[in-house]
A = this chain, B = another copy of it.
Amino acid sequence: MEKILGTDIVTQIGLIVRDIETTAKDYAEFLGQPVPPINPTGTYDKALTQYYGKPTEARAKLAFFHVNQNLDIELIEPDEKDSIWREFLEKRGEGVQHIAFNIRGMKETTAKLVDAGFPLTQKAEYVGGRYAYFNTFDKLKVDIELLENDSDL
Given A31-B8, A68-B70, residue A95 in contact with residue B141 (CB < 8 A):
yes
Q: Which stretch of A11-19, A37-45, A56-64 is in the interface? A: A11-19
Secondary structure class of chain A's binding surface, majority of residues: mixed
The answer to whether B15 touches A32, judged by C-beta atoms less than 8 angstroms apart, is no
Given A10-B67, A68-B68, A136-B30, residue A141 in contact with residue B23 (CB < 8 A):
yes
Number of identical protomers: 2
Q: Given B5, B30, B68, B73, which contacts A71 in the complex, CB threshold below 8 Å?
A: B68
Q: Does A34 contact B (CB under 8 A)?
A: yes
Per the 8 Å Cβ criterion, residues 66-98 of A in contact with B are 67-71, 73, 92, 94-96
Interface residues contributed by chain A, number (CB under 8 Å): 40
The answer to whether B67 touches A15, judged by C-beta atoms less than 8 angstroms apart, is no
Q: Does A127 contact B (CB under 8 A)?
A: no
- 7 smallest beta-carbon distances between A and B, as pairs: A3-B32, A96-B96, A8-B31, A26-B139, A10-B67, A1-B32, A94-B141
**Inter-chain pairs besides A68-B68, A73-B99, 8 sampled, C-beta below 8 Å:** A3-B32, A8-B32, A13-B96, A15-B141, A26-B139, A27-B139, A30-B139, A95-B96
